[in-house]
Structure formats: C-alpha cells, structure tokens
Copies of this chain bind each other. A is one copy, B any other.
Amino acid sequence: MRVGDLTTPALLVDAAALEANLADMARALPGQRLRPHVKAHKTTALAARQAAHGHHGFTCATVREVEGMAAAGLGADLLLANEVLDARRLGAVAATGSRVTVAIDSPETLQAAVDGGVPEVLIDVNIGLPRCGIAPGRAGELADRARATGLTVRGVMGYEGHLQLLPDPAERARLTAECTDRLLAAHADVGGDVISGGGTGTAACNTACTEIQAGSYALMDTAYTAAGLPFRQALTVLSTVVSTTAPAGEMPGWAVADAGLKAFGMDHGNPEVPGGTVWFCSDEHLTFAPDAQPVVGDRVRIVPAHIDPTVALHERMHVVDGDEVLDTWAVDLRGW
C-alpha cells in the first residue's frame, strides 16, 4: 500500500527513524537499564520492537496497558508506575503468569494491592513533582507495612517529570541529581533491587536509577525536539489539504488540512506544519499559512507537539518508508 492510499488523518511512523531511536537508546541504556514506558505509544507491536532491542521490562500508566501488554505476550516484568484503588484486574493479570508490580504511596494503595492480589510493589516517592509519591522520609515506614502484609517490596520509584523539558542540559542534570538524592535517601530506608525513574529528557543524566522509564524517545515530538535530545522525529500525522484560498489584498492566503483537535494532543500547543505557519486548530481542521500555495488534495505530514495524548486519539499507526506503507499497527492500549 502507498501512503497516498491512506484515509486521513492518520499516524505515520518513519520506520528508519524509529529503529534508529530504539537502537541509540538501547546502546545508551541496554537491557534492564531501560524500562520503556508504553504510555507514549500505547502500541504492543511497537513494544515488541523495544523487546527485540533487549528490553523485557516495561512501564505502564494504566491497568488497561498492563492487561494489553500481558495479552500480547510482553508480560515478563510489567510495572504499573501509578496508584490504583481497585487492583483486582492487575491481580488477575498476575494470576495468569505475568509479572506485575504496582506503585504504592499510601496505606490505601497498599491495601488495594493486597486486596487485588498483586504480589509485588514499588514505593512511589515524591522527589519534587507535585503529583503522586510519598514524602521521602516516610517511604521506609510504608515499605515496612507492605512487607508486614506479605507483599514483596522490590524497591522505589520517583519521577522528575517537571525537569524533562528543561532546555539547558546542565541545569537539567543538576536538578535531576537533587531529585535522585531524595530517591536514594528513600531507597536506603526501603531496600530492594529496583530504583526506577527518569524519562526521555533525563535519561542521559539520571545515573542514580537502576532503570529509566523513558517512552517518548521512540517516536518524539516538537517539545522534546526543542529540548535538544538526540532522537529523531519518527511520528507525524498525515493529513489532506481540503480547502485553500489564494492571497487577496492585505490578507495572506491560507490552507486547511483535515487534522485538528481530535487528531492532536493540544496541551503543548499547536502542532507544526513543515513549510507553513499554523494559525489554529478546530475539531477536524488545521488552518495554516503555507510558504508555497498548495493545491486541494495535497498531503501534509504534521508534527505533533506532545506525543502521548496525540497517540491516544488514533486507532492505528502506519509504519512507512517514504511513500510506502510497510505495516499497520493497532494502537491497542487505549482507554482504561
């Protein structure tokens, strides 16, 4: 199949860029040093490519992601790096032979792991981002309580999410070290083999963690590219120019592509159109000022500003080499 035959909007994955990203990261963080985060792509076929590069432990953000990874035969070591109050579906996955670990940061989430039949936990530690995670000084006490109930405590996790997109690498490294110092202090009280954390932005400087939870490196977006990371843009949204207007009087001409608010995560702002300036997005449209006048029917490959919520809006992604479609992968980890 050719790219021109696809219905738009459609996710395109540049096969060479994806493979280069996977290979580069696997060289930097081989095997267990990387626990790829599937929330960034929500696609078991892509996770299978990460496994082919040597990573067999994965990070998930939702119960559905854990279920889907296990069903796809990728359940060797699944970490739900998130808190849940109803862990029964996780326990059911563990009962079928996949290894399932869940993050806990409170007596309530500890009890949920027990009640749900999840055998292993990590203590989630707040290391600076105001989100989940127990205060570092209280992590050891929660680990003791967890072990007293019969749970296995594998170690700690903490996410310096607020630092991922800092533009200055030196500043990013300095603040990451402050965060991981808190995580190491908690780990001294908690014990266990695992110190999990980090992301695509801090993968190179977070040397304290035993494993890095990076996800965006595989496909990338404009926000991570702006942070100067050494990965290639692998994902675009293919769209069709459905309407144009020529310049008239003082008004520049504009063009309209058929991909809008339902095709792009918008929390990092507008996507970028190569060869044009984006004016605004509507539900199913992107209005832009093109550098050179397109004709109706032209195809445009638009670069998302934030990969994770963009992927969550699509049913499938097409793996391409130029204008040839090599494969089509279901985005099969969507929903909850």
- Judge whether A207 is part of the interface by a CB distance below 8 angstroms: no
Which parts of A224-256 form the interface with B (CB within 8 Å)? 240, 242-245, 254, 256
A297 close to B85 (CB less than 8 A):
yes
Q: Identify the closest chain B residue to A40 (Cβ).
A: B283
Integer count of this chain's copies in the complex? 2
Q: Identify the closest chain B residue to A82 (Cβ).
A: B284
A10 to B39, CA, bound (A): 18
Interface size of A in residues (CB-CB distance below 8 Å): 57
- Judge whether A92 is part of the interface by a CB distance below 8 angstroms: no
What B residues does A8 contact at CB under 8 A? 336
Which parts of A270-328 form the interface with B (CB within 8 Å)? 279, 281-285, 287, 295-297, 306, 308-309, 312-315
- Judge whether A144 is part of the interface by a CB distance below 8 angstroms: no
Which stretch (A19-27, A102-110, A188-196) binds chain B?
A102-110
Which A residues have a C-beta under 8 Å from some C-beta of B?
A: 7-10, 39, 61-63, 82-86, 105-106, 108-109, 126, 130-133, 135, 161, 240, 242-245, 254, 256, 258, 261-262, 265-267, 279, 281-285, 287, 295-297, 306, 308-309, 312-315, 334-336
- Give me 10 other A-B pairs in contact (C-beta within 8 A), A61-B284, A133-B243 excluded: A7-B86, A83-B242, A83-B258, A83-B296, A84-B258, A85-B242, A132-B243, A261-B267, A266-B267, A313-B313
